[in-house]
Amino acid sequence: MGLFEDGTLIEKWSIKTRTEDSGAHVLSDIYDSLFEHIEAGRIDAIGIGLPGPVEDDRIVHGLVNIGWGEVDVKEASKPYVSCPVYAINDANAAALGEVVAGGAMGRKSAVMITIGTGIGGGIVIEDRLVTGARGAAGEIGHMPLVFDGGEYDTLEERAGALGIKRRTLKLIEEGIYKTSLKSDFEVRDVFDLAKTGDELCVKVVDEMSVCLGTALSDIACLIDPEVFVIGGGVADAGDFLLDKIRKIYVERAFGPCKETKIVIAGLGNDAGIYGACKYAMGKE
């Protein structure tokens, strides 16, 4: 959570997300924490990033991660505040934040890919978010991939953290590639060992890079952004991962798009609060 004054972040903090009781405490916890830091009457507008598509800056149709069904965030916020409240997809907020003050700062167009447990994304064109008719634009993780033999999967299933772990476990079970991975490995261990040349881990990271590089080349044909920004926990692998993605991207991208920059996000976990602020204030 963060407080901004004239576009400058003046305070930030975090709270635990309580998902019990179908997420009934999420909004009340947010506002209780907020009012410990500022009086309600001093707030001009509020932006709230949420992990799913958002319609009309207010309505979500089910957020599995926090247990919500259909919720009108603006209506549900009325018992707490009288100022305007704007809901925004969290990956869209991160994309907007990176344009405001991060890896895409100074660019007119950008596509952000957040690679964590799953994969999210956001599209900014001419300094404005592209959210789509139903708030689902930028849901890059759900892009379909078709592999040799007609096998179908999504980008998230192959390149998100959970997908990476499943793929690694499958390759360990097959026993074709040598590895020094322990049975209780974390995804970061896969990247750390890949950097040392571990055969199985290199295989996993290379496969992931093909999926991401190919997806970016597809996106470039539709959006042609000035820059792709890679964020999320998996992006901590840094240039080791980016160099592999760039190689595939350049091989597969349409000619005029081959020069598009691919960079690591600059704001880390702060991107979402910067973007939510920008989005809310841009509505005023």
Supply the DSSP string of the chain, one letter for each residue.
-EEEETTEEEEE-------HHHHTTHHHHHHHHHTTTS-GGG---EEEEESS--BTTTEEEEETTTTEEEEEHHHHHTTT-SS-EEEEEHHHHHHHHHHHHSTTTT-SEEEEEEESSSEEEEEEETTEE---TTS-TT-GGG-EEE-GGG-EEEHHHHHSHHHHHHHHHHHHHHT-S-----TT--HHHHHHHHHTT-HHHHHHHHHHHHHHHHHHHHHHHHH--SEEEEESGGGGGTHHHHHHHHHHHHHHS-GGGTT-EEEE-SSGGGHHHHHHHHHHHHT-
273 within 8 A of 97, measured Cβ to Cβ: yes
- How far apart are the C-alpha atoms of 185 and 195, rounded to whole Å? 15
- How far apart are the C-alpha atoms of 229 and 102, rounded to whole Å? 9
Domains and CATH numbers, the chain: 2-93+270-282 (3.30.420.40), 105-265 (3.30.420.40)
pLDDT of residue 183: 85
pLDDT of residue 92: 94
pLDDT of residue 52: 86
93 within 8 A of 279, measured Cβ to Cβ: yes
Cβ neighbour number for residue 36 with a 10 Å cutoff:
9
Q: Which residues of the chain have pLDDT under 70?
A: 284
The model carries a pTM of: 0.89
Q: 23: number of CA atoms within 13 Å, CB side?
A: 18
- How far apart are the C-alpha atoms of 227 and 112, rounded to whole Å? 8
Distance from CA of residue 260 to its chain's centroid?
A: 20
pLDDT of residue 212: 96
Q: Label residue 277 exposed, middle or buried (CB < 10 Å: 0-12, 13-18, 19+).
A: buried
Distance from CA of residue 107 to its chain's centroid?
A: 19
pLDDT of residue 284: 67
162 within 8 A of 170, measured Cβ to Cβ: no
- How far apart are the C-alpha atoms of 122 and 115, rounded to whole Å? 12
